[in-house]
Structure formats: structure tokens, C-alpha cells
Amino acid sequence: MVEGPLARWLLNVRQAAVAAGTFLEGENPKMKKFALLLSLVFVAGIAIAEETKKPAEAPKAPEKAATVAKADVKAESMEAEIVSVDATAKTVTIKGEKENKTLNVDAKALSSLKTIKAGEKVTITMTNNAVTEIKAAAAKAPEKK
């Protein structure tokens, strides 16, 4: 029944432990209770350790900062001449006094990028350094002489 040197060695160790009284034959209910209690304490310790690893939830502070930032946001409008439009990069370049400026376009104004062309005069509304609205500038009435 016993095959191999390792199996024979394990059998010899078990027989020696039984002879010395350090190996329990049969079932011991106190040992089972102790092992169950020890495993419960171990599992509880792991659960507590995992809970302390989680970062404390503090989204309330950023929410307050976001509401303060929204209150400080001002939309500004300006008339400009379009130099170029890049729908893939979501940018529009406008003619400036000294040099041209490239502005990021917000998702709200992306649809208007398809309708505007270079050289057009438009009214641009900006919020937080992003273009939120682009409208064609109203045609000026010719002056009467």
C-alpha cells in the first residue's frame, strides 16, 4: 500500500508522533472549537484591514469647490473673424490684433463647426477658456449718405 520513499517517511513520522503522544488520534471537540474561533478571528482581522485600506470618501469638499467655480464663471462674447476650423481637433482659430488665436471648442458648439468657414465674421461666446457658442455675426445695415 505504501509506495515510494516519501510515503514511507511520512508514515514513519506519523507513527512516531502517535507513539510520543503529540499526534491526536480520533476527534477532539475542543480543538475543533479552538480552530473555528481562530479562523473567525483571522477572517475578521482581514476584513478590518481591507476596510482601513479604502480611502475615506470626501467628495463633499470638491463639490463645494465646483459650485464656487461655477459661480465665478463668466461667459464673455466677442466678435471675431474665423481664420481656420479644425473639427477633428475641436479647435477654431480666430484673427487677433497682433497674432491669430486658437481656441478649444466645447461639446456644445461642435455642431456649429460644420457650418462656419474661414473668413466668416462670427460672434463667439466663451466660458472657462473654451468656446461654448458660435453664431454668424449679424449683417450690418449699410450706412445712408
- The answer to whether residue 57 sits within a structural domain is no
How far is it, in rounded angstroms, from Cα 104 to Cα 93? 9
Coil, helix or strand at residue 12 = helix
Q: Are 78 and 132 within one domain? A: yes
Domain containing 132 — which CATH number?
2.40.50.320
Interval 27-83: pLDDT, tens? 667 777 888 888 888 888 888 877 776 665 555 555 555 554 555 567 788 888 889
Q: Are 42 and 79 within one domain? A: no
Residues whose CB falls within 8 Å of the CB of residue 79, separated by 6 or more in sequence, listed in order: 121, 122, 123, 124, 137
How far is it, in rounded angstroms, from Cα 132 to Cα 62? 24
- The answer to whether residue 67 sits within a structural domain is no
Domain count, the chain: 2
How far is it, in rounded angstroms, from Cα 122 to Cα 94? 10
- The answer to whether residue 85 sits within a structural domain is yes
Residue 91: which domain range? 74-136
Angle CA 86–89–94, to nearest 5: 45
- The answer to whether residue 58 sits within a structural domain is no
Q: Is 91 exposed, middle or buried (0-12, 13-18, 19+ CB in 10 A)?
A: middle
Interval 73-116: pLDDT, tens? 677 888 888 898 888 888 888 888 888 888 888 888 888 878 88
> Which residue bears the cell 511520512?
10
DSSP state, residue 85:
E
Whether pTM > 0.75 for this model: the answer is: no
Burial 34-44 (b: 16+ CB within 10 A, else e): eeeeeeeeeee
- The answer to whether residue 62 sits within a structural domain is no
- The answer to whether residue 93 sits within a structural domain is yes
C-alpha cell read off for 79:
466678435
- The answer to whether residue 66 sits within a structural domain is no
